[in-house]
Amino acid sequence: MEKFQRRIKFSGDIRPLLEKIAFDYKLGLYKTHRIIPVGYEDYNLVLTTEKDRYFVKIFASYRSRANCERYIAIIRQALRHGVCHPMLYKSPSGFLYSLNLNKIMLRLCVMEYIDGTSLYSLGGNLSQKKAKFLIKQAALINQIKLRPKFVYDSWAISNFLKEYKKKRKFLGVKEQTALDRLKKQFVQVSIRKLPRCLVHGDIIKTNVLKDKNGRLHIIDFSVANYYPRIQELAVLLCSVLFDEKCPEKMEDQRRFALKEYKKHIKLTDAEVLAFPIFCDVAHAMHLLQAAYEEKVKHNTSKENKYWLRLGRIGLGVAK
């Protein structure tokens, strides 16, 4: 079975599905398609028809219908609130498209194709203007009055203690020492007392696209949850805004991120105090989960190696 099609447990020719999608959505005749290889879960494609190009997200087989509907509902709310996210297309059966192909139930959605590249693929650092834009986008998301059904995310900062207990053994001694110290700090944070809201939770370099005009687009709300608000900014800072070549700038970057975010949402003293620890845990989760992917799932992809390296740099345990 082709590597990425394992995610949807489908081993046949995917073209008939894409031809039917193009017809049902009235996108024009199918011409070709290509896989988007980044990410860990869904099967993402670019569909090219005689009319244009479109982004197709085929949801991983483990996602229930309710989970897929949840994902689409969050995106629709984000679009309504001015978040820069690709437009959703609607088929005669709605935004969520379901089809039984070769006795396999496939669920998917179709979105506007952004002619550009992810920040992960581009590399380098953002300008201050672009950084301010993304912080404002994060604040827009955090102002959406929506509390979706909880979906567990093994990479989420809030799940650090649980995940570290299970996966500590996959780290080196130096890494364990660093995370043991961080664990002692994290347990002192009164997480339940921190303000909560809708949090994208995964505004990282692979989930931010830069189009041909330089405009940034936030994608993939798969793990959006009702989380401590400060978690959003910590994740954003420790990937998109983090300068891995100059990690000593981290303190200045934290001050910058807090200052910009406060222009849109007032933070409590408790949030400001917890922010540095949340940032460290964001780096720890990159390291912890990428190490697990490498040791247990034998994931040696370029992307996984990137998160492994980034986590080590952020925590000061780079080899």
286 and 184 inside one domain: yes
- 87-126 residue pLDDT tens: 999 999 999 999 988 788 999 999 999 999 999 999 999 9
Residue 53 structural domain: 3-113
Quote the number of domains for the chain: 2
- CATH code of the domain covering residue 71: 3.30.200.20
Whether the CB-CB separation of 143 and 81 falls below 8 Å is answered with: yes
CB-side exposure of 18: number of CA atoms within 13 Å? Answer: 23
49 and 152 inside one domain: no
143 and 245 inside one domain: yes
Tell me, yes or no, if the pTM score tops 0.75.
yes
- 267-315 residue pLDDT tens: 999 999 999 999 999 999 999 999 999 999 999 999 999 999 999 999 9
Residue 150, Cβ density class (10 Å: 0-12 exposed, 13-18 middle, ≥19 buried) = exposed
Whether the CB-CB separation of 194 and 224 falls below 8 Å is answered with: no
For range 39-67, the mean pLDDT:
93
| The domain boundary residue, chosen from 89, 113, 137 | 113
107 and 203 inside one domain: no
Residues 6+ apart with CB under 8 A from 236: 134, 135, 138, 203, 204, 257
137 and 237 inside one domain: yes
140 and 93 inside one domain: no
